[in-house]
């Protein structure tokens, strides 16, 4: 909407109410406000998926186990090209004639301070993943860097790079930051801009299909639009379920490491159920009362843990890792972005393609959520904050956690190295903290941080899925929003029991693949919308 709350549709005069297919339905004492086609299709597919994974868990495990490597090897080029397009497109918009256009119209004002805004977008964007892989991924790529470089294993089982340590850290951090820097946030920015422009500047409903009006015209309110919104809802649920699976696995591993409680499926299911219940309460409180406050708490806890590691750990090594990481990232970015003739298939397929699918699957969720909280920001401010600030924060985080672990490893602390050799990423954070003072307190803080990231992802994600399945209605009955929050938890439980993290990752890739193509098309829609907006405001 424009700042005077009146839709300004310009060349996008639509009759979208005719295609909304919304209905208010009363079920017992509760009422719901849903888009009948999108809600029914999404809900049926989700129920069938949960039932299939719970009833035929072994078959589900086999299917998902085959699906993931097939998609990552056969369609790696689709994900690579798509992510490169998003990054180049966003960098162009920063210096383009459209950079001063505001989301929401010329007189729109930001609803949140920069600190609150950044806390919410960062907590929604990639919280659990940073905590899960913050220690292990820099170690992995430092010892086994991509692009044809090698490492050696000594006779005593220790891993030592076969070249200069600084060069190894620079290359390893570059390989790590490639997955956490400009590219993923560019994917989020494209979806955010598509929704922000067409919903808040053009007066269309807050749903993914609105961003495709320049391509589909009035057909966007029919079945082509229904399919787009259903894909978006499923991709969001899949991306969220993957993150919830990571969070449950890491929280269970931390509880086992500190308290000795077995980290089995029962414990992980209990964690998901408890956290889902808290997330439902946060959803009940709403965006300002629940999501905003939890996001700010998230950032505070993350900052406390980060500063503890920086000042108590190997401070000099952490600072050097940060500087080498930034240098290596911008030097090796072109080579890492290339998808032709790659010989480092373990890195390219096992890490990059999986990450790209995960971020794309998250993009409708993060994009819609960020669009809702970014009204009043100019295109230039929005993209710079979206791309550069998270890249710097991710660099600092990976340097703090990963740099300290690398320092411990080189110093002979074998336990942290074993989390890499035995591939237990969920344990790496707690093993690294064990070597520092106040290990029990910091490990407990790490568990709380994982759980709060878990909650913020779940509650903000449920708001987004609910909005999509309500045809863009942003104020729906609270029980309706809590319904989707509950189902996010059930999907995570079902997929964990039906094949573990591999199944969660496979579903994220499967839903991210078609949405990658949609997001590339969305770049064209965004450009058309910005051209029209600039023509209108002069």
**113-147 residue pLDDT tens:** 887 787 766 665 666 788 888 999 999 898 888 87
**pLDDT band at residue 295 under the 50/70/90 scheme:** low
Could you give the angle at the alpha carbon of 402 between the alpha carbons of 329 and 114, nearest 5°? Answer: 70
If you average pLDDT over residues 80-90, what whole number do you get? Answer: 96
Phi, psi of 218 (to 5 degrees): -65, -20
Report the share of the chain in percent with pLDDT over 90: 29
If you average pLDDT over residues 336-341, what whole number do you get? Answer: 90
> What does the pLDDT read at residue 110?
86
Residue 34, SS3 per DSSP: strand
**The two structure tokens encoding residue 214:** 């320049």
**The two structure tokens encoding residue 10:** 């310009």
**pLDDT band at residue 158 under the 50/70/90 scheme:** low
349/171 Cα distance (integer angstroms): 18
**The two structure tokens encoding residue 187:** 């994917």
> What does the pLDDT read at residue 378?
92
> What does the pLDDT read at residue 242?
77
**For 196-213, what is each residue's pLDDT tens digit?**
999 888 888 888 999 999
pLDDT at residue 498 is higher than 60? yes
4/262 Cα distance (integer angstroms): 57
> What does the pLDDT read at residue 417?
82
Name the one residue in this structure whose structure tokens are 């049926």: 44
Name the one residue in this structure whose structure tokens are 């030097």: 331
459/366 Cα distance (integer angstroms): 12
538/536 Cα distance (integer angstroms): 6
Architecture of the CATH domain 16-537: Up-down Bundle (1.20)
Residue 424 parent element (H or E): none
Phi, psi of 404 (to 5 degrees): -65, -40
Name the one residue in this structure whose structure tokens are 């868990």: 57
Mean pLDDT, the chain, integer: 82
pLDDT at residue 30 is higher than 50? no
229/33 Cα distance (integer angstroms): 16
Phi, psi of 24 (to 5 degrees): -100, 120
Report the share of the chain in percent with pLDDT over 70: 86
pLDDT at residue 247 is higher than 90? no
Quote the distance between the C-alpha of residue 5 and its chain's center. Answer: 31
pLDDT at residue 95 is higher than 80? yes
Of the two residues 505 and 410, the one the predictor is more confident about is 410
**pLDDT band at residue 397 under the 50/70/90 scheme:** very high
Phi, psi of 241 (to 5 degrees): -60, -40
Burial code (b: 16+ CB inside 10 Å, e: under 16) for 45-78 equals: ebeebbeebeeebeebbebbeebbeebbeeebeb
Domain ranges for the chain: 16-537
pLDDT at residue 74 is higher than 80? yes
Task: Find, among 69, 369, 34, the residue nearest to 230 by Cα.
Answer: 34
160/151 Cα distance (integer angstroms): 6
**For 420-435, what is each residue's pLDDT tens digit?**
888 888 899 999 999 9
> What does the pLDDT read at residue 126?
62
């Amino acid at each position: 909407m424009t700042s005077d709350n009146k839709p300004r549709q310009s060349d996008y005069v639509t009759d979208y109410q005719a295609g909304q297919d919304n209905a208010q339905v009363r079920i017992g004492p509760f009422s719901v406000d849903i888009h009948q086609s999108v809600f029914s299709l999404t809900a049926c597919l989700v129920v069938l998926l949960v039932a299939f994974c719970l009833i035929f868990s072994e078959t589900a495990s086999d299917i998902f186990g085959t699906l993931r490597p097939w998609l990552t090897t056969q369609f790696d080029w689709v994900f690579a090209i798509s992510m490169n397009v998003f990054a180049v497109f966003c960098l162009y918009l920063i210096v383009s004639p459209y950079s001063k256009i505001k989301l929401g119209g010329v007189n729109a004002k930001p609803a949140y301070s920069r600190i609150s805004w950044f806390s919410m977008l960062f907590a929604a964007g990639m919280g659990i993943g940073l905590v899960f892989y913050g220690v292990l991924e820099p170690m992995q790529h430092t010892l086994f860097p991509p692009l044809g470089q090698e490492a050696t294993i000594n006779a005593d089982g220790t891993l030592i790079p076969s070249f200069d340590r600084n060069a190894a850290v620079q290359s390893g951090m570059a390989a790590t930051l490639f997955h956490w820097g400009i590219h993923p946030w560019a994917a989020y920015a494209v979806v955010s801009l598509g929704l922000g422009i067409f919903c808040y500047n053009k007066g269309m409903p807050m749903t993914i299909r609105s961003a495709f009006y320049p391509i589909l015209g009035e057909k966007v309110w029919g079945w082509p639009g229904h399919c787009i919104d259903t894909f978006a809802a499923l991709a969001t649920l899949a991306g969220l379920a993957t993150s919830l699976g990571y969070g449950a696995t890491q929280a269970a591993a931390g509880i086992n490491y500190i308290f000795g409680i077995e980290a089995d499926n029962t414990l992980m299911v209990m964690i998901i159920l408890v956290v889902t219940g808290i997330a439902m309460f946060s959803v009940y409180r709403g965006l300002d009362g629940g999501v905003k406050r939890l996001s700010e708490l998230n950032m505070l806890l993350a900052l406390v843990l980060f500063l503890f590691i920086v000042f108590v750990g190997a401070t000099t090594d952490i600072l050097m890792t940060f500087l080498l990481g930034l240098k290596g990232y911008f030097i090796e970015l072109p080579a890492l972005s290339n998808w032709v003739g790659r010989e480092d298939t373990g890195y390219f397929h096992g890490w990059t393609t999986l990450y790209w699918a995960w971020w794309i699957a998250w993009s409708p969720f993060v994009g819609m959520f960020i669009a809702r909280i970014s009204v009043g920001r100019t295109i230039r401010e929005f993209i710079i904050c979206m791309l550069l600030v998270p890249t710097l924060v991710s660099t600092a985080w990976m340097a703090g956690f990963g740099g300290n672990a690398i320092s411990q490893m080189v110093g002979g602390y074998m336990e942290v190295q074993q989390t890499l050799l035995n591939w237990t990423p969920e344990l790496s954070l707690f093993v690294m903290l064990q070597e520092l003072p106040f290990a029990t307190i910091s490990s407990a803080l790490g568990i709380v941080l994982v759980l709060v990231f878990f909650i913020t992802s779940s509650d903000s994600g449920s708001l987004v899925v609910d909005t999509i399945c309500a045809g863009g209605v942003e104020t729906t009955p609270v029980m309706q929003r809590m319904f989707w929050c509950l189902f996010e938890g059930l999907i995570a439980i079902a997929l964990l029991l039906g094949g573990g993290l591999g199944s969660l990752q496979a579903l994220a890739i499967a839903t991210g693949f078609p949405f990658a193509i949609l997001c590339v098309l969305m770049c064209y829609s965004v450009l058309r919308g910005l051209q029209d907006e600039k023509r209108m405001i002069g």
